[in-house]
Structures are given as C-alpha cells and as structure tokens.
Amino acid sequence: MINREKLSDNEIEVKLKEIKDWKIENGKLCKSFEFKNFTQAFGFITKIALESEKVDHHPELFNVYNKVRVYLSTHTINGLSEYDFVLAKKIDEL
C-alpha cells in the first residue's frame, strides 16, 4: 500500500532523484510537457485522467495549445506524499 503521509524535505530530495525533469514549485511536484499539436496534448491529458482515476489521486492539469503543465500534491495533507511520486512515474510512462 502506498503511504499518504507527508514526506520530509530530505525524503522529497531523495525521491526527486528517481524521476526525470520534475521539480518542486510552490510546494508541488511540477513538470511541463510539449507536443506536436493540441490534439496530442489533449490526448495526453486524457491518459493522465484515466491513470489518475485508477489510483484515486488527481493532479492539477493546465493546457495551452501544445503544452501541458502538471502539478502534483496530496491536498489532504497539504504537501507531498509517496502518492505524488508514484503518479509522476506513471505519467512519465505515458
């Protein structure tokens, strides 16, 4: 089972090394993606939505034309948990 407890700053630093190109922005995991066009970007958002439902953990998604920006945090603890890093890895696999 995935731990939904708030991670310490040290734990976050260790886990950040396990995911590529994600960073911390305003206390949230953040990554930007760029696609060939709007359709590909929106398709990516749809894939994220379906994967997020499976794990019952929902990101903040922002889309402008061919760009998608993803923010992850665990709202119930007002911080980052292992759930955020698990979902980040799944998003990277998409």
pTM score of the predicted model? 0.91
CATH number at residue 65: 3.30.1360.20
- Tell me which residue range forms the domain holding 62: 26-93
User: Taking Cα atoms as reference points, which of 24, 22, 17 lies closest to residue 33?
Assistant: 22
pLDDT score at 92: 96
Angle, vertex CA 43, rays to CA 38 and CA 49, nearest 5: 130
76, pLDDT greater than 70: yes
Structural domains in the chain (count)? 1
Please report whether residue 21 resides in a domain.
no
pLDDT tens figures, 4-36: 789 999 999 999 999 999 999 999 999 999 999
66, pLDDT greater than 90: yes
